[in-house]
Structure 1
């Protein structure tokens, strides 16, 4: 019988001892038997300094932009998710969110491993996760939970898989709609499988997983990118890590966290696209360990949804869609700056990108975007300014994205556009 080895992390985010013992744990029918290595951490060990290495902002279960499993949830299924960390370390822990769950989430078990191809993982790299020393855990309704530490050495920009197994029925799942990467689902318990053969269903969203943190070398100069679908990476090549957060991590060598939500608004909550900026800023930025800088790029939906509703194909998800003034948006930015400064973070303001030709464009949004961008550039309210508007504008028509940077909808950049944004921002950091 094939056997895969799982190493067990320390409790409560504390380091792992060197002593180990062997034991066997039977899995459900059809799964391989596991050989467990459990490590106990002496109580006198020094605390681990943790740093966030990957993040995704939780959302209410919804249909969203693309088909997903959030509303149906999971039942006797394993979910394998692949993410790329932007910082390395000798151990990791994960952050699970049940922010929009109305009842406790029963997680039967979870593993982490170094990613292979598609749903495969690298042989010998599977580690079982524990939560306060327990393999099974209940995440409170509207709450979140971090795992214990697991010994798994990672280099920055390594890809890691997180596999969650739910023996019961979860109900609707807290998720992140736009992952721009494949997530895999299998029937039954396959959390320890090195092979991905059982994972026959795919989605492009992330479920319950809201963070990966590393210890044993974590830096304290992380950058959180806060915004909407442009920050999320809409228009980038799926599965290729071509968002502007990826390009920035590659260019600067600093930990970079993506706190974008497609369709998100500065001033209003959305049933489809997340809570308003100030309501989620603490969870998605300020509570991330190791972050020293936040970049705010948001507001195009606040001024663009009302324009889109005037068109021939009004979008039912583009609600609420009030007509928003530049003064109202500026008040929203000032609140985010206040929150960032209250926690000692540097706040970088990014100008809104050109949007002419998109469904967000109109007389009102054109005027407000100009007024907002001028305020961002000249007010001094932000600690620094990333002028994406000027960097990505067409020379022939500054209200439009340059053709070389346009993904095709005249609103979202392509891979080259996201690289250009990262180059502008890297000079400020």
Structure 2
């Protein structure tokens, strides 16, 4: 889902196939879910480079990086004795030639905790070259981490990357500095330039713990976290990880949301359609055992919009949306992955999304999700998040302010509904 802004074109629904990029340097195949095996503990779903905007602020994706260090801080949802990093050049136009990369435990801001900084290697080499459309996985690194630890990954590109594969709505500060600062423990070199996006960083995996695999949250801006407090890790998947940890349930949580994303439509601004990217962004995650699907509201809400630069948005029917959800369910079942459906939250009074016709489609899709029995379980976010005085409207206690997106309290409430279903 996205705030009212330019939106993507609806294209003909295709048969869902996994869309994971080719692998450049694998560092070994992911182990099956289970204690000791690799589990995705943090992820970002990528999309094409796009200019910054007034909602997300500036980003560096269209120009990329040359003789620059990019320092990114992420919070992992599970711990382990070993970590590894996945990097993506899926949308690059030239090879991504990294001179090197490091990982360490965050010391706050751009600082790294003393004694934790480690070099990353790829097939035992400090440097790596990732072709356009490909992904690379680092070799395992001995760096003990705990669930909810913040890790710092620093990449140095000496050559010039060209446009950067990235994730726009990071809601977390990323730092850039000229020159090679991979091994800087302090933050001084990174004081000048910041962004709220992630670049190239596709995932951080952990192994060597009792973690029993990964739950992947899939969807649009409700999953991506738009509306939650920036820098606070209060997206609903973050809250889900915290609640599972507090309950003593050893599961990792990975976030595969993209703000503005649609189930049925590709967009140069908001990512490949959900039916296309589900394979790579969800089913190829190391250790995946369950997926939570919350998507379709942008297909409905943007239906009828003209092309403002990211494609037109034809009106969609309930039948088309049901067919899209069924494609996701079939793909998950074929891989032995439990799939949990979430009903679409209320949209009344949301500018550009609220009309009687759109509300009728949302209601009909929610009825199917709720009653068809095709999902393994259902988190009924529509009812849980609704205003008790007006079931078509978002509860003011959970409203970010646009009658569409969730604030921190709404994200925590959604997480609780999902946590009750995850096994």
* TM-score, length-scaled by structure 2: 0.88
Are the equivalent residues in 2 in contact too, given 1:86–1:157 (CA < 8 A)?
yes
1-structure distance, mates of 2:102, 2:201: 12
Answering whether residue 72 of structure 2 is matched by residue 96 of structure 1, we say no
Q: Which has the higher mean CA deviation after the structures are superposed, 235-244 or 359-368?
A: 359-368
Give the equivalent residue in structure 2 for 1:270. 267
Q: 3-state SS of the aligned residue for 1:347? A: strand
2-structure distance, mates of 1:144, 1:165: 17
Q: Which has the higher contact order (CA 8 A, sep 6+)?
A: 2
What is the Cα deviation at residue 369 of structure 1?
0.2
Alignment partner for residue 175 of structure 1, among 166, 182, 190? 166
Give the equivalent residue in structure 1 for 2:248. none
Answering whether residue 27 of structure 2 is matched by residue 12 of structure 1, we say yes
The Cα offsets for residues 54-75 of structure 1, whole Å up to 9 and x where unpaired, read as 0000111012543210001001
Give the equivalent residue in structure 1 for 2:61. 70
Are the equivalent residues in 2 in contact too, given 1:305–1:318 (CA < 8 A)?
no
Q: Gaps spanning 5+ residues in structure 1: where? A: 1-10, 15-47
Alignment partner for residue 319 of structure 1, among 311, 335, 356? 311
The Cα offsets for residues 319-361 of structure 1, whole Å up to 9 and x where unpaired, read as 3311000000000000000000000001111000001111211
Give the equivalent residue in structure 1 for 2:383. 390
1-structure distance, mates of 2:90, 2:212: 26
Give the equivalent residue in structure 2 for 1:28. none
The Cα offsets for residues 109-168 of structure 1, whole Å up to 9 and x where unpaired, read as 000000011100101110000000111110111000100011111001000000000111
Answering whether residue 156 of structure 2 is matched by residue 165 of structure 1, we say yes
Q: Gaps spanning 5+ residues in structure 2: where? A: 1-25, 30-35, 246-250
Are the equivalent residues in 2 in contact too, given 1:13–1:93 (CA < 8 A)?
no
Alignment partner for residue 354 of structure 2, among 346, 351, 361? 361
Distance 1:317 1:236, change over 3 A: farther
Map 1:89-168 onto structure 2 (within 5 A). Answer: 89-168=80-159
Give the equivalent residue in structure 1 for 2:42. 54
Larger radius of gyration: 1
Are the equivalent residues in 2 in contact too, given 1:270–1:320 (CA < 8 A)?
no
The Cα offsets for residues 25-69 of structure 1, whole Å up to 9 and x where unpaired, read as xxxxxxxxxxxxxxxxxxxxxxx7211110000111012543210
Distance 1:317 1:361, change over 3 A: farther
Are the equivalent residues in 2 in contact too, given 1:78–1:188 (CA < 8 A)?
yes
What is the Cα deviation at residue 317 of structure 1?
5.1
Q: 3-state SS of the aligned residue for 1:389? A: helix
Are the equivalent residues in 1 in contact too, given 2:103–2:152 (CA < 8 A)?
yes
Answering whether residue 297 of structure 2 is matched by residue 300 of structure 1, we say yes
Give the equivalent residue in structure 2 for 1:410. 403
Give the equivalent residue in structure 2 for 1:284. 281
Are the equivalent residues in 2 in contact too, given 1:219–1:290 (CA < 8 A)?
no
The Cα offsets for residues 291-342 of structure 1, whole Å up to 9 and x where unpaired, read as 11101000000011125x3xxxx78256331100000000000000000000
2-structure distance, mates of 1:376, 1:319: 28
1-structure distance, mates of 2:378, 2:309: 31
Answering whether residue 369 of structure 2 is matched by residue 376 of structure 1, we say yes
Map 1:136-285 onto structure 2 (within 5 A). Answer: 136-199=127-190, 200-217=192-209, 219-253=211-245, 254-285=251-282
1-structure distance, mates of 2:94, 2:310: 28
What is the Cα deviation at residue 219 of structure 1?
2.4
What is the Cα deviation at residue 12 of structure 1?
2.9
CA RMSD, aligned part only? 1.6
* TM-score, length-scaled by structure 1: 0.87
Give the equivalent residue in structure 1 for 2:10. none
